[in-house]
Amino acid sequence: MKAVEEHLLDLVRIPSVSRLSNRPIIDYVRAALGPAGWQFRELVYRDATDVEKVNLIAAPPGADVDQTAVDLAFVCHTDTVPFAASWDRATDPFIRDGHLFGCGACDVKAYLACALTAVLDPASAPLPQGLRMVLTADEEIGCVGTKKLMEADCIRPRRVLIGEPTSLRPARAGKGYCLAQVTVFGKEAHSAHPQQGASAIYAATELIAEIRRIAKSLELDRNDFFSPGFTTINVGTIQGGTAKNIVAGQCSFQLEWRPLPNQPQNAVAEQVRETSATLEQAWKGAIRYDIRVTRTQPGFETSASAQLVRRLESMSKKPAIAIPFGSEAPHFANVAEEVVVFGPGDMRTAHSERECVPTRELHAAVHFMQRLMQD
């Protein structure tokens, strides 16, 4: 049997950024589980650039992989974010000072390595028929694979353990993630005669000032299980104008917000639209605002008394937390009774040359997964 470190070293060596096919990762998992009698179901699609992507459902020996209702699913995405050319060891992993380094080491190939090790351990108890391993594609670019998996309605697990680096703390809640592109249309003119035009940049700053006011008002609706305990808003990028001596005819910015689970995903966008309509009236038709929502992902929250939450708290000796980053959990929360995000590693090292996972957490995660399967 391969040690968990060996699996993880193998997986990190396989480049799997989102623009590539995840087929090599799927093939690795099939090669590991197939000889042990596991059954597989692939759901294949092609992305916008015609690259093959694969979602995989794996069932233990004797189980029917086409059975929709199952008790426990270990869910893991297979893609990583792009890495800088300067990161010369991104796919050349190594172990140093008790940590394994490499691209995807903690986000989330460590979880996959742990799951493979847990289910292939010949010393473990017989695998339950209601267990599934679920591998998804394109999580890093909007949970695309998971959405397609849910649309296919081919699996309805009662409990789901989503792999993400949480330092082995069970995360039972997470904020949503929403994104909008805001474009402001004005009228160009020579800057020596500004009255002949209408500055889209000035109009954009007026709207951004109002967005900041909206953000402050959202701080009043709190859930202190989260940190920060309110819906946050951010203007991440802004572009506008064509030259220093031209009144800007167009300006655009990206607006993101992370709503609490109990808040409507479109609430912020609606407030911004209402505000922009008022500003348009003040500009007397010289300015037009266009707000186009490009992504809406809800939050999730599993009860503190849920069996999976309490079991992981008991095993890890760590209280449940809420995560500030996105995951596939909200999509599975639509069909599952209990969803928990859990895994080795710290997200604060991910997506960088510092990405690593403590090897002691790898072994602990294997142990926890085996105990969950025994339960």
The residues carrying an active-site annotation are 79, 139
Which SS3 state, helix, strand or coil, does residue 375 take? coil
Give, for 55, the enclosing helix (H) or strand (E): strand 52-59
Alpha helices of the chain — where are they, by DSSP H?
Answer: 4-12, 23-33, 110-120, 144-152, 200-218, 267-282, 307-316, 329-333, 359-374
- Residue for token pair 């426990």: 72
Contact (Cβ atoms closer than 8 angstroms) between residue 161 and residue 74: yes
The per-residue DSSP string of 164-187 comes to: --BTT--EEEE--EEEEEEEEE-B
Strand positions, DSSP E, 131-287: 131-136, 156-163, 171-174, 177-185, 189-190, 232-240, 246-247, 250-258
Side chain identity, residue 29: V
Side chain identity, residue 263: Q
Considering only CA atoms, which of 351, 245, 249, 226 is closest in space to residue 300? 226
For 145, phi then psi, to 5°, come to -60, -40
Contact (Cβ atoms closer than 8 angstroms) between residue 252 and residue 238: yes
Q: Which two tokens stand for residue 63?
A: 């189980």
Contact (Cβ atoms closer than 8 angstroms) between residue 243 and residue 163: no
Alpha helices of 121-164 — where are they, by DSSP H?
Answer: 144-152
Contact (Cβ atoms closer than 8 angstroms) between residue 297 and residue 178: yes
Instruction: Report the relative pairing of strands 321-323 and 177-185 from DSSP bridges.
Output: unpaired
